[in-house]
Structure 1
Amino acid sequence: MSQQALNLGIEEPPQAEEAGARVQVLLPLPLAGPLDYRVPDGMANQLEPGAVVEVPLSGRKAIGVVWPKNTSGKASGKTLPLKKLKPVERIIDVPPFGTDLTRFVDWVSAYTLSSQGAVLRMCLSVPAAFGDVPVKRHYACASVLPDGIRMTPAREAVLKVLADGKPRMAPEIASLAGVSDGVVRGLADAGALVALDISVDQPYPQPDTNLKGPKLSGEQTEAAEAIRGAVWEGGFKPFLLDGITGSGKTEVYFEGLAEALQEKGTQVLVLVPEIALTSQWLERFEARFGVTPVVWHSEVGQAERRRAWRAVATGDARVVVGARSALFLPFKKLAFITVDEEHDPSFKQEEGVLYHARDMAVVRAMQAGCPVVLASATPSLETQVNADEGKYQVLKLRERHGVAVLPEMRAVDMRAEPPEAGTWLSPILVREIEETLAAGEQVMLFLNRRGYAPLTLCRTCGHRIECPSCSAWLVEHRFRQELQCHHCGHMEPIPEACPTCESKESLVACGPGVERLFEEVTRRFSEARTSVMTSDTMMSPSQTAAVVKEIAGGHLDIVIGTQIVTKGYHFPNLTLVGVVDADLGLRGGDLRAGERTYQQLVQVAGRAGRAEKPGKVLLQSYEPEHPVVQALLTGDGDAFMAAEKAARAQYHMPPYGKLVAIILSGPEMAEVLEVGRALAKVAPVEHGVDIVGPAPAPMVRIRGQHRFRMLLHAKKHIKVQQLVRNWVLRVKPKSSVRIKVDIDPYSFM
């Protein structure tokens, strides 16, 4: 997080407008700023800043938010006379946005160079939340039975079911009483039952903060007390909770969460990478607080999203756990934030508004005036540098919880111990798997490559099967008998003959994916119960939960997976982890390749030996002398990260400098390049700023769009936002060419 973020100060918004005056309404549209509307008679005392309203817009109705006047920008350069303004039509029956959220929207907009409306769209992401909530007809016993009503055994059975005073729907009553729906409705018509229309969105159960968690170790207790103290005092305070895998970080930040919930009406947000939102985590939360939290991620259905959004706005939802988009929910009284696995690259939003949820969570906590905990076994370099500079208080956990110890780490030099031709497991790893299975223990094999093979080519003419819309090879998915592009989603059947030379039986799969590894494992260990865990095979949270339960229950012997298997799972009988290609993430020259690979391998290694049985991790590598592999073997991650810091600092790379990516895309390559050259001609010339490009992107075509990239590299003290804004505005691109600005890019594809 930049010093600019931590030193931010914004003025208080103005009070409500008087009748007949104008009011600014921000709409979830990519406009330059809010639009002016007229305050109608009778609405003046209700149109406070933050109110959600319905307004007319170009012949239709739109939902927007009354915006404080300290906002930057206006959608129109001129101010219309009051009599020409259209009036606000109605106020939506939801609580107004708090000043912390409106400030947050303004901050994200300014930092990412996105329009305020584009950021607001993420806050108003559930259109159903602004309409009438559906109701269902329920029945309860009348306080007094009407005179002269004829009673039958069936009617008496209905009254007996409803004697507990709980309203129920007719089908449920009929089922419990063993009668038909007609008996229930007949009693209602006779006046013996009262009809009640009850909202389908029932209140969420409230967490029980009186329940006690597991006994904490000494260092856990010390970290928990520091967090609890900050929550009790209130105010913004950021923490880095740096704990090795299995050290019990979750239980530590649960203590801060429990402290935050002690005050009436307070709310808590826990951000997790979407694939890390596991059933095991939810079970741990329920064991600690007696209820499940409100869950927010892309798989949640629309009806449940409506219920969750409204409950967050009213304060009824006390604890929300979700993916990065949960940051933009309209919390009424946010008192504590945790970002779990803060190093995870999936916290970077790569579409629409480009932001990093870890950094924005710190800003959100600052605006709300509450503590924030960034938790990880392998903290990001950005977070470590902030901690080194004293911006974050560091809490360290260096012991595994309970009797568990860190696993033994070994490298397998694939140059000296190569696998058999056509296979991918070295003889050493095969022997270790055999011994582990013989001992009745479980094995995990990690290969971060989906599908069967990353490339299909013709042995006769050398043709490689590519995506028709992207500059990428199609990946074979043999389980589904199809080829797929992992960038645009294009799918086609596996051809029987080469599309170019038409040779039959000449297509060959090159390289391993997890499906190919599964084929080898099932051939070698035919008696073992084996499963594959990837985003292709785990299509829903319920499917993932079912497989996790099978593994934890000892019903699977070998698990093969991509990064989805690395996220916080606890499998007591899993003692061997084999990393099939430890070098995979080191290829490609990415700025963060070494850091990211180290983090990923530490996480997957952390699945081994998490209970009483000791664990073992084997890293198959063609370059075991690489600093990443050596850091894993020696356990000296601090030395590796210190070397990473020194290399970044030497060349003023993030977090010791700033990067801004300008991505140009369009259907015609010549037009995209023309815009890139125009930008290059008017590029700012300033000391401490270097600009390269335009150059073809490594992925030069995605979804039929040709792509060029430019990169601005600046010293840390330079404020790049205004510099880039002025630069980009000097060029008027063709309508077919899109310019995307990415402050702090994480992807260089």
Structure 2
Amino acid sequence: MASGSDWRAAAISSDSPSQPQAEGLGPARPESVENIDLRTVKVLLPLPLADAYDYSVPDSLEVPAGSFVVVPLGKREILGVVWGEGTGEVPREKLRDIVSVLPARPMAETLRRFVDWVAAYTLAPPGAVLRMTMGSTSALEAPRTELVYRPAEAIGDTDLKLTAARRRVLEALKDGPAMPVAELAHLAGVGPSVVKTMASIGLLSAEARVMRRSFPQPDGLHDGPTLSPEQRRVADALIDKVKAHAFSATLLDGVPGAGKTEVYFEAIAATLAERRQVLVLLPEIALTAQWLKRFEDRFGAAPASWHSDLTSLERRETWRAIADGRVSVVVGARSALFLPFADLGLIVVDEEHDGSFKQEEGVTYNARDMAVVRARLVSAPVVLASATPSLESITNVTAGRYGALHLPARHGGQKLATLAAVDLRKAPPPRGHWLSPPVIDAMKETLAAGEQVLLFLNRRGYAPITLCRACGHGLECPQCSAWLVEHRFRRVLICHHCGYSEPPARTCKHCGAIDHFVACGPGVERLAEEAHALFPEARVELFTSDSLVSRAEATAAVERMIAGEIDILIGTQMAAKGHHFPNLTLVVVVDADLGLNGGDLRAGERTFQLLYQVAGRAGRQDRPGRALVQTHMPEHPVMQALVANDRDRFVTAELAGRAAAGMPPYGRLAALVVSGPDAALVDNVCAAIARQAPHQPGVTVLGPSTAPLALLRGRHRRRFLLKTGRDIAVQPLLHAWLSKIGLPASVRLQIDIDPYSFM
């Protein structure tokens, strides 16, 4: 077997990406072993191993490339995927036999290439990437069967045995499909024993049927809304790209309310007409009730969903149906990108700028970027839609790597919300409060007109910090260098990084003072208290991941808002994404400066995108909307661009600053995070890594430094940052550097190519 169980041994293949995905892939490699009966094969295991292992194939088995197989590993048996012809490096007498081949469809060659690509680009073990493609191992087993019943072909003398109950059973089966016993008994209003007795005396015949869930099929010919001439022009351009059956990447850039969704729905309809599959990636799949309803209204059926809330049964049936081609449209979170599509014809990444497309743990990857890669591999178009595109996508358009289609105005002639900054230095809230007088006046006017208000604050809980007034000690997480956040409505203190929680205490552990704790700063729960006090007659509701823990609860909250059953909605960034509330005319950003305090590369970009998006929730129907942004820094470029509604000015200034500093998208970054339970040992490992750091023109290594989250889940963390020019491939550089380093068992090293956050 091929040796090596460490990420450091992962080799970068000859066509692995030395440039970010936007610059394209090399030509497809020929797959010489597809459908060939191999006697020695490489099997990739879904483990963090550096390479596939060689196995021999018994004469009784046929194992084309991509087959799902069970193989021995040590004293256990494990599932794997045949990755190609054996290396020939292991003597035949030392090879172990494949145990069995599972009855699932083999993994497609394009998906196997995608796994190799992602592994090479992210420097993750290929087995760790493979694991993401196997979302349901039970789906690989033979599907279960069930007995179904239909009337016997010739009943004959048994007519004399037809009781009223038995006649109801036969009537239920008349002109219909065969049914399992429970369904048939329920429909006929009889007990299961009646059905079984009828089968035993020859009134019914039984047959085995494969059990599989049926999925509704969206209809691309279903009538859609009438598009404006501008929408029609953009939709037709996307339809042409679908019909070309070729790779293309297109940025669909439109202001909030421009109808981007209805436009790419036309591309979906064209793909369905081509009898190919569609993948739509959304940043918050559990909170997309309005999107799903719009889809069902447009196509007459709901798409299949893929997200973390699915049950194991739902995951198995959905995974299997996608592989069989029985599902035509999938809407999912970033993990849906690794599903086994039979014939993928279109990928849509909605809200392509959203940071939740970046996976920060395990295999670190950006689903937006990898969606472009997968589209290229399957020769399909990918559409990146946003009202505030990422600077990377804008740069790719400028360089000619992506195409661009623009929707510069709201659908139906509606005007964008007017936006004004409220200078908190000149109009501060009363002491202990968080809403300024101009904001309160605007809320009074809005509520008096029978319209709705959204208070936006991207802080969960009641207060971000709880301090002891006697000694100043703050309540911290024992496992992380982070404050415990008070959730007063639930009577608990929670760490939002590791999930640690404890009940509120009366006694300070630091000084022993009793009942001296005070909440500092606002969270959404504290804001709700203030809103209730100011407007006791108003119906106030929270819209956060803490208050709405399931998709059903989020859907119900959206429906209440649309029905006018909520007057003041108080939300975190959940409320900023894609919702359409017809009667919402006032949006208030309570702390616009919050995102600017991060101090990292993307702080300004993220803040502008979030505030621009949340302001876009206002005035989306026939009533004009306005947005008020509370800030201590109205002169900040982000605030100036927002107030002027001048996105291009902000983008130009931000890109100029990035170019001057050689930062992405004009340079490359890779982050290295070293962590372990022993701080001294982590520092020693960091010193060894620093001594081997590369020294060459165009390459800068920053660190090691203590990470902003210095302690996370009980592990001490240190960071390096590798910065290079655009002409330098970071993966070979990192591989050569880190292959010289030995890591103690308790120390982990995580590599993040193209880091999004810097915590």
Give the counterpart letter for 1:152 in structure 2: T
**Alignment partners' CA distance in 1, 2:252 and 2:22:** 23
RMSD: 1.6
**Alignment partners' CA distance in 2, 1:680 and 1:553:** 60
Structure 2 vs 1, CA of residues 592 and 5 (structure 1 numbering), >3 Å: closer, same or farther? same
Q: Give the equivalent residue in structure 1 for 2:195.
A: 184
Structure 2 vs 1, CA of residues 584 and 605 (structure 1 numbering), >3 Å: closer, same or farther? same
Structure 2 vs 1, CA of residues 522 and 275 (structure 1 numbering), >3 Å: closer, same or farther? farther
Look up the SS of the partner of 2:412 in the other structure.
coil
Question: Are 2:141 and 1:141 equivalent residues in the alignment?
Answer: no
Q: Is the 8 A contact 2:38 2:63 kept in 1?
A: no
Look up the SS of the partner of 2:498 in the other structure.
coil
Question: Are 2:166 and 1:155 equivalent residues in the alignment?
Answer: yes
**Alignment partners' CA distance in 1, 2:696 and 2:263:** 47
Moved more, 491-500 or 716-725: 491-500
Q: Give the equivalent residue in structure 2 for 1:506.
A: 516
Look up the SS of the partner of 2:411 in the other structure.
coil
Q: Give the equivalent residue in structure 1 for 2:352.
A: 342
Q: Give the equivalent residue in structure 2 for 1:360.
A: 370
Offset at residue 586 of structure 1 (A): 0.4
Offset at residue 411 of structure 1 (A): 1.0
Q: Give the equivalent residue in structure 1 for 2:241.
A: 230
1:59 equivalent among 60, 69, 75: 75
Q: Is the 8 A contact 2:477 2:500 kept in 1?
A: yes
1:258 equivalent among 254, 269, 274: 269
Look up the SS of the partner of 2:314 in the other structure.
helix
1:244 equivalent among 255, 276, 279: 255
- Correspondences of 1:392-407 after superposition (within 5 Å): 392-407=402-417
2:617 equivalent among 604, 607, 618: 607
Deviation string, structure 1 residues 202-235 (Cα, Å, up to 9, x no partner): 2312221111211111211111111110111111
Question: Are 2:307 and 1:289 equivalent residues in the alignment?
Answer: no
Question: Are 2:19 and 1:8 equivalent residues in the alignment?
Answer: no
Look up the SS of the partner of 1:320 in the other structure.
strand
Question: Are 2:97 and 1:81 equivalent residues in the alignment?
Answer: no
Q: Is the 8 A contact 1:40 1:88 kept in 2?
A: yes
Offset at residue 171 of structure 1 (A): 3.6
- Correspondences of 1:319-468 after superposition (within 5 Å): 319-468=329-478
Offset at residue 136 of structure 1 (A): 4.0
Question: Are 2:59 and 1:41 equivalent residues in the alignment?
Answer: yes
Look up the SS of the partner of 1:631 in the other structure.
helix
Give the counterpart letter for 1:484 in structure 2: I
Q: Normalized against structure 2, the TM-score is what?
A: 0.95
Structure 2 vs 1, CA of residues 4 and 10 (structure 1 numbering), >3 Å: closer, same or farther? farther
Give the counterpart letter for 1:64 in structure 2: G
Deviation string, structure 1 residues 236-288 (Cα, Å, up to 9, x no partner): 11100000001010111111111111123x11111110257511101111111
- Correspondences of 1:508-587 after superposition (within 5 Å): 508-587=518-597
Q: Is the 8 A contact 1:403 1:611 kept in 2?
A: no
Q: Is the 8 A contact 1:17 1:23 kept in 2?
A: no
**Alignment partners' CA distance in 2, 1:358 and 1:213:** 27
Q: Give the equivalent residue in structure 1 for 2:214.
A: 203
Question: Are 2:49 and 1:27 equivalent residues in the alignment?
Answer: no
**Alignment partners' CA distance in 2, 1:197 and 1:521:** 61
Q: Is the 8 A contact 2:287 2:555 kept in 1?
A: no
**Alignment partners' CA distance in 1, 2:614 and 2:505:** 36
Moved more, 133-142 or 34-43: 133-142
Offset at residue 747 of structure 1 (A): 1.3
Question: Are 2:489 and 1:471 equivalent residues in the alignment?
Answer: no
Structure 2 vs 1, CA of residues 247 and 163 (structure 1 numbering), >3 Å: closer, same or farther? same
Q: Give the equivalent residue in structure 2 for 1:117.
A: 127
Deviation string, structure 1 residues 348-369 (Cα, Å, up to 9, x no partner): 0011101000000000000011
Q: Normalized against structure 1, the TM-score is what?
A: 0.96
Give the counterpart letter for 2:378 in structure 1: A
Deviation string, structure 1 residues 317-374 (Cα, Å, up to 9, x no partner): 1111100011111111111111000000000001110100000000000001111100
**Alignment partners' CA distance in 2, 1:34 and 1:516:** 54
**Alignment partners' CA distance in 2, 1:602 and 1:276:** 23
Question: Are 2:645 and 1:635 equivalent residues in the alignment?
Answer: yes
**Alignment partners' CA distance in 2, 1:551 and 1:214:** 23
Q: Is the 8 A contact 2:63 2:82 kept in 1?
A: yes
**Alignment partners' CA distance in 1, 2:189 and 2:304:** 35
Q: Is the 8 A contact 1:337 1:372 kept in 2?
A: yes
Q: Is the 8 A contact 2:21 2:370 kept in 1?
A: no
Deviation string, structure 1 residues 135-157 (Cα, Å, up to 9, x no partner): 44432222222533511112111
**Alignment partners' CA distance in 1, 2:423 and 2:626:** 16
Deviation string, structure 1 residues 446-483 (Cα, Å, up to 9, x no partner): 00000000000111111111111111110000011010
Q: Is the 8 A contact 1:146 1:190 kept in 2?
A: no
**Alignment partners' CA distance in 1, 2:370 and 2:34:** 29
Q: Give the equivalent residue in structure 2 for 1:132.
A: 142
**Alignment partners' CA distance in 2, 1:165 and 1:7:** 52
Structure 2 vs 1, CA of residues 352 and 146 (structure 1 numbering), >3 Å: closer, same or farther? farther
Offset at residue 548 of structure 1 (A): 0.5
**Alignment partners' CA distance in 1, 2:560 and 2:323:** 38
Q: Is the 8 A contact 1:19 1:42 kept in 2?
A: no
**Alignment partners' CA distance in 2, 1:146 and 1:561:** 69
**Alignment partners' CA distance in 2, 1:516 and 1:419:** 14
Question: Are 2:229 and 1:218 equivalent residues in the alignment?
Answer: yes
Q: Give the equivalent residue in structure 1 for 2:691.
A: 681
Give the counterpart letter for 1:668 in structure 2: D
Offset at residue 18 of structure 1 (A): 6.3
Structure 2 vs 1, CA of residues 153 and 276 (structure 1 numbering), >3 Å: closer, same or farther? closer
Question: Are 2:152 and 1:168 equivalent residues in the alignment?
Answer: no
Unaligned runs of 5+ in 2: 1-18
Structure 2 vs 1, CA of residues 686 and 177 (structure 1 numbering), >3 Å: closer, same or farther? same
Look up the SS of the partner of 1:480 in the other structure.
coil
**Alignment partners' CA distance in 2, 1:679 and 1:173:** 68
**Alignment partners' CA distance in 2, 1:438 and 1:136:** 61
Look up the SS of the partner of 1:451 in the other structure.
coil
Moved more, 550-559 or 174-183: 174-183
Structure 2 vs 1, CA of residues 20 and 334 (structure 1 numbering), >3 Å: closer, same or farther? closer
Offset at residue 134 of structure 1 (A): 3.6
Moved more, 202-211 or 278-287: 202-211
**Alignment partners' CA distance in 1, 2:415 and 2:364:** 40
Look up the SS of the partner of 1:445 in the other structure.
strand
Q: Is the 8 A contact 1:134 1:199 kept in 2?
A: yes
**Alignment partners' CA distance in 2, 1:504 and 1:653:** 50
Moved more, 351-360 or 146-155: 146-155
Q: Is the 8 A contact 1:276 1:564 kept in 2?
A: no
1:310 equivalent among 295, 320, 326: 320
Structure 2 vs 1, CA of residues 591 and 16 (structure 1 numbering), >3 Å: closer, same or farther? closer
Structure 2 vs 1, CA of residues 428 and 300 (structure 1 numbering), >3 Å: closer, same or farther? same
Look up the SS of the partner of 2:486 in the other structure.
strand
Question: Are 2:84 and 1:68 equivalent residues in the alignment?
Answer: yes
2:205 equivalent among 177, 194, 202: 194
